Amino acid sequence: MKKFIFLTIFLVLNLLMTACTNHNEKFNDFSLKGESTNWTGEMKVHTEERYDKKDKKSYYESSSKHTFVLEYKGDLEDLKSLRHLRYKYQGNAIGGNEERTFDKGSKEKRFVSSSSGNGAFETKSSVIEVTVEWDNKKETFTLKSTE
């Protein structure tokens, strides 16, 4: 009977230890920042990676969410005559663009867009190129890690 109890405890502990080592989750949050003469940009990135090993098979899944913030460095008054704004950003794994038109100028100087997805994602060493076009002006700059 003592052998049975010992064996049962051993098997339960072994199962618990095996379960802990066959499952791994990794979360990462970071920002990439940059600026030009008239604009600042920041990309906030949240990534999740999951690894499971069950029944001699390995499972890997990754996902990311990113939020891009573009902000005009000048006064809001400067944007009262703004009629057209277009910006785009492109990294190794993510990219996006947005276009806005204004009848009476912009009432804000901060523009935010976000998205999420599975698969490849940006890392702290990524460099993201940003292009901003407003009315007849254009500026390009890069976002990089500040760490």
Burial of 9 (0-12, 13-18, 19+ CB in 10 A): exposed
Half-sphere exposure of 102 (CA within 13 A, CB side): 16
Question: What is the pairing mode between strands 110-118 and 128-134?
Answer: unpaired
What SS3 state is found at 80? coil
Q: 62, 48 in Cβ contact below 8 A?
A: yes
pLDDT digits (tens, 9 = 90+) for 62-109: 777 899 999 999 999 999 999 999 999 999 888 899 999 999 999 999
Report yes or no on whether pTM surpasses 0.85. no
pLDDT digits (tens, 9 = 90+) for 25-60: 777 888 999 999 999 999 998 888 777 777 667 766
